Amino acid sequence: MSNRLPLIAGNWKMNLDHQQAIALVQKLAWTLNDAGHDYKSVETAVFPPFTDLRSVQTLIDADKIEFSLGAQDLSKHESGAFTGEIAGSFLKKLDVKFVLVGHSERRSYHNENDEVVQAKTAAAFKHGLIPVICVGETLEELENEGAAAVPVRQTLAALANHAELGEFVIAYEPVWAIGTGKVATPEEAAQVCAKIREAIADAHSPEVAAATRILYGGSVKAANVAGFLKSTEVDGVLVGGASLDAEEFAGIVRFQKHISL
Ligand code: PEP
């Protein structure tokens, strides 16, 4: 076991309005409470759409629910004439702790390249947000370069040229596994996470590498999560589709139940 606190993160993508968001968070908390969940054993974070953040923040604050709040994106700019964009400072004001950067859907549908991902990582650091830097290879890249090359390259690009690194999380998400029902094997996921950690140690420091949580993502469900989290290389999961179902996501959050150590 490493001393990194596992992180289970639910990316809701463009699903659920603010009322539905409240219902899901309440149901998730009730389900976990009923199961006697130990909130200190794992960090649980939800990443609702921007329009839900205020409602979810108010709920978890008022009911003292031990969930962390994440946003799905942020602007690389500070403020000004950038219609439709959301600044890191706005997120910070809402007690947002994490922000996804470089999710494969942003990279492919919004042409976010490594330069943009680096700039968004810098904006997150600047505002005291923890970027969850998403990296992963397409099927074509897997066939041409193997599994680790692209995620390692994307990780190093996102972490390059910062005066100082703040805390960050890496989410290794093979693009071919996102929303497809196809998953990497636990061994493949652990190998790529280990290579990413090695690369961070070489490019930055062994201390930074040892402190960084590296997650796996791509069609994770309650039924397959234990396999990924058995490896000490994998410090949690980033979950899309299955995070929209309270019972399924609670089953993922309570992954220890399925792991025989
Ligand atoms: C994701 O959106 O980051 C993701 C991993 O999605 P899914 O779990 O649905 O594959």
- How does pLDDT run across 74-132, given as a tens digit for each residue? 999 999 999 999 999 999 999 999 999 999 999 999 999 999 999 999 999 999 999 99
- The structural domain count of the chain equals 1
Report the percentage of the chain scoring pLDDT > 90. 93
Residue 50 placed within a domain: yes
Output the residue whose Cα is nearest ligand 1's atom 5.
218
Cβ atoms within 10 Å of 32's Cβ, excluding its own = 21
Nearest to 155 by CA among 122, 208, 196, 201: 196
Q: How far, in Å, CA of 158 to CA of 153, rounded?
A: 9
Mean pLDDT of 13-25: 98
Check if 241 has its Cβ closer than 6 Å to any atom of ligand 1.
Answer: yes
> Is residue 219 part of an annotated ligand binding site?
yes
Three-state SS at 29: helix
Nearest to 247 by CA among 30, 12, 38: 30
> Is residue 176 part of an annotated ligand binding site?
no
Output the residue whose Cα is nearest ligand 1's atom 2.
240
Confidence of residue 184 (pLDDT cuts 50, 70, 90): confident
> Is residue 102 part of an annotated ligand binding site?
no
Q: How far, in Å, CA of 172 to CA of 152, rounded?
A: 9
Confidence of residue 180 (pLDDT cuts 50, 70, 90): confident
Q: Is the pLDDT of residue 146 over 70?
A: yes
Q: How far, in Å, CA of 162 to CA of 31, rounded?
A: 41
> Is residue 146 part of an annotated ligand binding site?
no
Mean pLDDT of 150-173: 97
Mean pLDDT of 247-261: 83
Residue 67 vs residues 63, 163, 177: alpha-carbon distances, Å: 11, 30, 26
Spatial contact of 130 and 165, defined as CB atoms under 8 Å apart? no
Q: Is the pLDDT of residue 1 over 90?
A: no
Question: What CATH number does the domain containing 117 carry?
Answer: 3.20.20.70
Backbone angles phi, psi at 44, to 5 degrees: -110, 130
Residue 168 placed within a domain: yes
Spatial contact of 136 and 172, defined as CB atoms under 8 Å apart? yes
Mean pLDDT of 27-42: 95
Cα(238) to centroid(ligand 1), Å: 7
The pLDDT value given to residue 121 = 98
Cα(174) to centroid(ligand 1), Å: 10
Spatial contact of 155 and 135, defined as CB atoms under 8 Å apart? yes
Output the residue whose Cα is nearest ligand 1's atom 4.
240
Q: Is the pLDDT of residue 182 over 50?
A: yes
Check if 179 has its Cβ closer than 6 Å to any atom of ligand 1.
Answer: yes
Q: What's the pTM value of the predicted model, to 2 decimals?
A: 0.97
Confidence of residue 261 (pLDDT cuts 50, 70, 90): very low
Residue 213 placed within a domain: yes
Q: Is the pLDDT of residue 233 over 70?
A: yes
Check if 104 has its Cβ closer than 6 Å to any atom of ligand 1.
Answer: no
Residue 123 vs residues 72, 91, 136, 156, 236: alpha-carbon distances, Å: 14, 11, 22, 17, 24
Residue 24 placed within a domain: yes
DSSP per-residue string spanning 204-232: T-HHHHHH-EEEEESS--TTTHHHHHTST
Output the residue whose Cα is nearest ligand 1's atom 7.
240
Which domain range does residue 234 map to? 7-258
> Active site residue: 37, 43, 103, 248, which one?
103
Q: Is the pLDDT of residue 209 over 80?
A: yes
**pLDDT mean across residues, the chain:** 96
Q: Catalytic: 103?
A: yes
Residue 2 placed within a domain: no
What is the distance of C-alpha 32 from the center of its chain? Answer: 20
The pLDDT value given to residue 178 = 87
Output the residue whose Cα is nearest ligand 1's atom 8.
240
The pLDDT value given to residue 12 = 98
Cα(81) to centroid(ligand 1), Å: 32
Three-state SS at 33: helix
Mean pLDDT of 172-192: 92
Atom of ligand 1 nearest to the CA of 100: 3
> Active site residue: 105, 112, 137, 173, which one?
173
Residue 100 placed within a domain: yes
Residue 1 placed within a domain: no
